[in-house]
């Protein structure tokens, strides 16, 4: 990988889902749930680290969830398990790898596998997620990490308006997202103010995220120093349910967003000297 890993600034950014994240799913009567969908963009950054900003970026994904425990009366309301895969396909330079075994998958820049456990208590959710981040077209070496996250659903406090704060710490177990010399520790804090609009026919949110290096995450190996501040991301996302499909075919949703990244000194240098990076996204998701 040239400069690091990848993730759309949308969310896990993972809005993604950001590879960088697995969220607890709404459960059906069989305690089984899932999502499948894709996002389209013109650029792809992972925690502020440039991956691609030329051509088209297509990011299909799928995940499954199981409810292991549910008890609204106890201190622990739920325990869920999630597994999934997230991918990034590029038409730009990073999707044009030539030669060797990578030739037949040269547009397939990244493929991530993740598995995690989420525990719900009161209006909080705590998650532990393992992610293996691989490059089928051999643009970068595999990176394995373990992430701990804590998020709050505060809609019960503010009614139709919510802030949804979260914090995530990701520890690299093998490989480096920044292309440095040591496994690092990444810290992310953010909020996602949002509400339903148009009489509930759409939802809008304004996510704000800060990314930091706790240890060896944003390493400038050429100059021999580490940047603590990585990036600041502010955006506006909107989602519309699609009601044209009959019941039993999943809950369809159309989404779009615009984000602006403000990069720290090291990530600015990786981005060709540009300290600001706009990113627009469009996506379709089916939940079942």
Average pLDDT over residues 146-162: 86
Q: Which of 112, 215, 109 is nearest to 172 (CA)?
A: 215
Q: What percent of the chain has pLDDT over 70?
A: 86
Average pLDDT over residues 147-152: 97
What local confidence, expressed as pLDDT, does residue 224 receive?
A: 65
Query: What distance in Å separates the CA atoms of residue 86 and residue 65, rounded to the nearest whole number?
Result: 15
At 21-59, the pLDDT tens digits run: 334 444 444 689 999 999 999 999 999 999 999 999 999
At 55-90, the pLDDT tens digits run: 999 999 999 999 998 887 778 889 999 999 999 999
Counting Cα atoms < 13 Å in the Cβ hemisphere of 233 gives 34
Average pLDDT over residues 257-269: 96
Average pLDDT over residues 245-263: 93
CATH number for the domain whose boundaries are 32-287: 2.40.160.40
8 with 18: CB under 8 angstroms?
yes
What local confidence, expressed as pLDDT, does residue 117 receive?
A: 98
At 157-198, the pLDDT tens digits run: 776 788 999 999 999 999 999 888 899 999 999 999 999 888
Average pLDDT over residues 106-134: 96
Mean pLDDT of the chain: 87
Average pLDDT over residues 7-34: 48
- Please state the pTM of the whole predicted model: 0.86
**At residue 153, does pLDDT exceed 90?**
no
Average pLDDT over residues 205-217: 97
What local confidence, expressed as pLDDT, does residue 15 receive?
A: 35
Q: What is the phi/psi pair of residue 156, to 5°?
A: -65, -25
Domain ranges of the chain: 32-287
Residue 201: CB atoms within 10 Å: 10
Residue owning tokens 């120093």: 225
Q: Which of 213, 209, 211, 168 is nearest to 191 (CA)?
A: 209
Average pLDDT over residues 242-270: 93
231 with 267: CB under 8 angstroms?
yes
Confidence at 225, pLDDT banded by 50, 70, 90: confident
Residue 236 structure tokens: 């506006």
What local confidence, expressed as pLDDT, does residue 213 receive?
A: 97
**At residue 11, does pLDDT exceed 60?**
no
What local confidence, expressed as pLDDT, does residue 82 receive?
A: 98
**At residue 250, does pLDDT exceed 50?**
yes
**At residue 18, does pLDDT exceed 70?**
no
Q: DSSP code of 24?
A: P
Confidence at 1, pLDDT banded by 50, 70, 90: low
Name every residue whose Cβ is closer than 8 Å to that of residue 217 and which is 6 or more positions away in sequence: 172, 177, 178, 180, 184, 185, 186, 226, 230
Task: Determine the straight-line distance between the first and last CA of the chain, rounded to whole angstroms.
Answer: 34
């Amino acid at each position: 990988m040239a400069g690091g890993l990848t993730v759309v600034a949308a969310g896990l950014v993972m809005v993604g889902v950001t590879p960088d994240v697995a969220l607890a799913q709404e459960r059906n009567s069989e305690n089984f749930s899932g999502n499948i969908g894709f996002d389209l963009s013109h650029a792809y950054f992972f925690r502020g680290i440039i991956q691609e900003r030329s051509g088209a970026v297509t990011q299909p994904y799928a995940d499954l969830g199981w409810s292991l425990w549910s008890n609204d009366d106890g201190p622990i309301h739920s325990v869920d398990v999630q597994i999934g895969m997230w991918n990034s396909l590029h038409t730009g330079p990073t999707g044009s790898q030539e030669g060797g075994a990578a030739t037949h998958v040269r547009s397939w820049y990244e493929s991530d596998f993740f598995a995690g456990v989420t525990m719900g208590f009161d209006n909080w959710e705590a998650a532990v997620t393992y992610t293996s981040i691989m490059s089928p077209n051999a643009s970068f070496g595999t990176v394995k990490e373990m992430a701990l996250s804590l998020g709050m659903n505060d809609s019960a406090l503010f009614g139709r308006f919510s802030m949804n704060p979260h914090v995530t710490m990701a520890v690299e177990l093998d490989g480096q997202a920044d292309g440095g010399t040591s496994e690092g520790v990444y810290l992310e804090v953010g909020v996602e103010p949002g509400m339903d609009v148009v009489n509930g026919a759409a939802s809008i949110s304004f996510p704000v995220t800060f990314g930091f290096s706790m240890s060896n995450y944003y390493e400038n190996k050429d100059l021999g120093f580490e940047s603590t501040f990585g990036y600041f991301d502010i955006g506006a996302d909107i989602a519309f349910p699609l009601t044209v499909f009959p019941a039993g075919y999943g809950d369809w949703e159309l989404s779009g967003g615009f984000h602006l990244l403000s990069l720290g000194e090291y990530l600015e240098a990786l981005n060709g000297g540009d300290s600001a990076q706009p990113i627009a996204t469009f996506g379709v998701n089916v939940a079942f």
